[in-house]
Structure 1
Amino acid sequence: MNKYEMIAQDLEKMIMDGVYQEDELLPSENELVTRYKVSRSTVRQALKTLEENGWIQRKHGLGSIVIARDRLNFPITGLTSYKELQHYLGFDSLTEVVTFEKRIVDSSLAELTHFPQGVPVLHILRRRKIDGEFIVLDRDYLLYAYAEGLSKSQAADSIYDYLENERHLEIAYAQKEITIDFINEHDRQWLELATGDRHIVSVKSHVFLSDNTLFQYTESRHQVDKFSFTELARRQKR
């Protein structure tokens, strides 16, 4: 991991932990240079990363301001785990693991996940309860070579916590697709939907390590009327 990425992650964690509150200024570039013992260009790259991921707004002559929580909602950009998002946004949630099994990738699963046929994966299906209702359904396929050793209780807590802190993997980026889908039989089985509900928000992600290895395919399905998905868009002059 590059130095600027480590700094960005450290500052992001402090924002999530409330060390820096919404609408509050982060330390100046000079203070960050001194604190992390790095160059100014490294600090600027870290702040650029935070800005691109929707955590701060940099204003010339003023500094880096933490963006208000209520403007984040469920961000599209960035790669934040559900547990981290829950902690940052401050909502109560319960996770139930309903499927936890080893599978071999067949032709249909290979088409969906982009994993080669014949490789083993860990298949995990979790549903999330928020405000007393199960309204999120997460399905994950992880290459078994990386997920071996993950327990069901760890999957209920945080898969990324295990992968990063115990397996020491560097999770780098994801390719995401967001669509409005018709509700399927699994949605009906595991989510608490109203009788008249017909649609659901689907967020599909192919997730890569820092060496560009695809190691995870995930689909999160959310009740349409419960979430707002946001992205901080910036104008690029051409």
Structure 2
Amino acid sequence: MFAAALLSAANASAQCTGDGVQLYPAPGGIVPTNMRILLEGVGTAKSPVLGLVGKPLKLVSTDHEVKLKVTKGWESSLGRATVILKLAEPMQPDKRYFLNLQEVLPNIALLNGQVGAQPSWLSGKGPDAKAPKWVKRPAVSEGFVRRSPQGIARFVKLNLALREESPAFLVVKLSPRRLGISPQQYLLPVQGNTAYLGHEACGGAFSLEDGRSYRARIEAFDAAGNLAPSTPPVDFEAPSAQGP
């Protein structure tokens, strides 16, 4: 069983995100011309984001537009949902493309972008056709529990390494090591060589029960949707809120 560990990165993961949307890859970066955009709705923004499925969106540069098809991605029972925005054609190289979210999600906060600015990305030199390669397969290094007036945050830290230039993401199918309980499946962004699996005090991606044993089946993909080779499942015990 993992001891509670209060690390600076873990503390940041434990804080409540608040209501709004997050975009992956994060706005402002350089992306392959064939990227996919992952749009996550958190809290009260979950339902409006799910409501975008099937609706037309577009990326716009000074002299080029790219239509986006919105498809369903993943949904968490803890107040989150992610949809996938697929490009109808590649972006042109070396151009800045803007996404007008306020047109379809008025008055909803962007949680990982510049306040008051339209989210945008700079297209790179071309498409990304290479799948990520595992350098270090995922493994749980530690777990932590943090109490606050809002409740209990509980996470495990996944250490991993991928050979990949664009941002990488995980889709985790999490099953309790006990029959009769449905698995959870959701998205985790990779931050450096780390991903945090669990929940904040007021919501999150995955529900973890105190001390329960789990098996995580993990898929990794890059910003263009290229899948990494399959990797063995990861078994772990959720950290316990019970002190020693």
TM-score (norm 1): 0.27
Larger Rg: 1
TM-score (norm 2): 0.26
